[in-house]
C-alpha cells in the first residue's frame, strides 16, 4: 500500500453524504475514471467507426458536427436517430432551420412518429421546450436512454434580438450567445444523470485575417464537446441518365477538430464521406 489510503478516505467521505447518494457517488479514486465500452454508445453504422475511431455517440457526452451547408451534418444526425430507434433509445429532435421534412426522416429509415420533435428558431423557446420534453421523457421512461439532437445551434436567434430596435440599439450585443451558453451548461449538468447522448449540429464561419474556421454557437459548446468535426462540401456526385448529368449526392470532407474519446495517435485527421439516397459511406481517408 502507498503512503496514502485514498480509497479508504474516499469511502469515509462518502458516508458523510449518505443522505445524498448522487453526490456521494461523485467521490472516489483515479481508477473510478470512466472507461467507455461499446455499451456506452449508440452504435452508429460502420462508416462512423471506420472514420472516427469510436463506435458511435456516447451517453453522457456531447458530440458536435459543424460546417458549411450541404456537408452531411443533418444526414449524419438522421442516421444517428435511425440508430437510436433501432437500439431502443428515445429521441428528441430540435429542428431550428425549418428545412428537414418528414420524408427526409422516412427515406432514411427513421420512424417520424417515434421522434419527439421541437421546431423553433427562437433560442429561449427552443431550449425551454427541449428541457420540458427532456424531463417529461425521463419522468415517463426513467430507465430509458436518450438521444438529444439539436440542429442547429448556430442559427437560432434570441427573443431580445428579435425585439431590438436597429436604429437605437445597433451597437448593443445580442442575447443569443448568453442563452446558448446557459443552455449548454444545463445540458452538461443533465446528460450524465439522465444517460443522454447529445449531438449538436452547428455551422462554421471564416476567420477574418487568419486561416481556418470558427464554430458558431459560442465557446461553451466547443469546450464541452468530446468529439468535434468541421465539415465542408468537396463536390457533387453525378451520373449520366439519358445523356444528361443528374446529381445523386455529394462528397463531403470531415476534419477532426477534437477527439477526447479516442486519443490514439492513429486517429484519422481528415476523411471524405459520400452521401447519396442510399446512405453514407467513407470513401477516402488520410
Q: Is a pLDDT exceeding 60 seen at residue 285? A: no
Helix spans in the chain (H): 6-15, 21-24, 46-52, 73-86, 102-107, 123-140, 159-163, 176-191, 219-224
Per-residue pLDDT tens over the stretch 158-204 = 766 555 544 444 444 445 678 888 999 999 999 888 989 999 999 88
Phi, psi of 262 (to 5 degrees): -145, 100
Q: Are 81 and 110 in contact (CB under 8 A)?
A: yes
The string of pLDDT tens digits covering residues 224-247 is 999 999 999 999 999 988 888 999
> 246 in helix, strand or coil?
strand
Please tell me the pTM assigned to this model.
0.86
Interval 57-86: pLDDT, tens: 999 999 999 998 888 899 999 999 999 999
Average pLDDT, the chain: 87
The fraction of the chain above a pLDDT of 90, given in percent, is 59
Q: What is the DSSP letter of 44?
A: P
Amino acid at each position: 500500500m502507498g503512503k496514502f489510503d485514498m480509497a479508504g478516505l474516499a469511502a469515509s467521505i462518502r458516508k458523510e453524504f449518505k443522505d445524498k447518494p448522487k453526490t456521494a457517488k461523485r467521490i472516489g479514486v483515479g481508477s473510478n475514471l470512466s472507461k467507455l465500452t461499446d455499451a456506452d454508445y449508440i452504435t452508429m453504422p460502420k462508416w462512423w467507426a471506420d472514420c472516427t475511431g469510436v463506435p458511435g455517440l456516447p451517453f453522457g457526452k456531447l458530440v458536435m458536427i459543424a460546417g458549411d451547408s450541404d456537408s452531411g451534418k443533418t444526414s449524419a444526425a438522421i442516421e444517428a436517430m435511425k440508430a437510436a430507434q433501432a437500439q431502443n433509445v428515445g429521441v428528441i429532435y430540435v429542428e431550428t432551420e425549418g428545412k428537414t421534412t418528414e420524408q427526409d426522416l422516412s427515406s432514411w429509415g427513421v420512424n417520424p412518429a417515434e421522434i419527439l420533435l421541437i421546431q423553433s428558431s427562437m433560442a429561449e423557446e427552443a431550449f425551454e421546450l427541449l428541457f420540458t420534453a427532456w424531463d417529461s421523457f425521463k419522468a415517463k421512461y426513467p430507465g430509458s436512454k436518450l438521444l438529444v439532437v439539436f440542429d442547429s445551434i448556430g442559427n437560432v436567434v434570441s427573443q431580445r434580438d428579435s425585439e431590438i430596435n436597429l436604429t437605437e440599439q445597433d451597437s448593443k450585443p445580442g442575447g443569443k450567445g448568453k442563452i446558448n451558453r446557459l443552455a449548454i451548461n444545463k445540458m452538461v449538468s443533465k446528460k450524465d444523470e439522465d444517460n443522454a447522448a447529445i449531438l449538436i449540429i452547428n455551422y462554421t464561419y471564416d476567420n477574418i485575417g487568419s486561416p481556418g474556421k470558427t464554430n458558431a454557437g459560442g465557446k461553451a459548446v466547443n469546450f464541452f464537446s468530446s468529439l468535434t468535426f468541421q465539415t465542408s462540401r468537396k463536390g457533387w456526385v453525378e451520373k449520366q441518365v439519358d445523356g444528361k448529368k443528374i446529381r445523386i449526392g455529394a462528397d463531403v470532407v470531415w476534419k477532426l477538430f477534437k477527439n477526447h474519446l479516442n486519443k490514439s495517435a492513429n486517429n484519422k485527421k481528415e476523411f471524405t464521406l459520400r452521401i447519396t439516397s442510399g446512405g453514407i459511406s467513407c470513401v477516402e481517408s488520410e
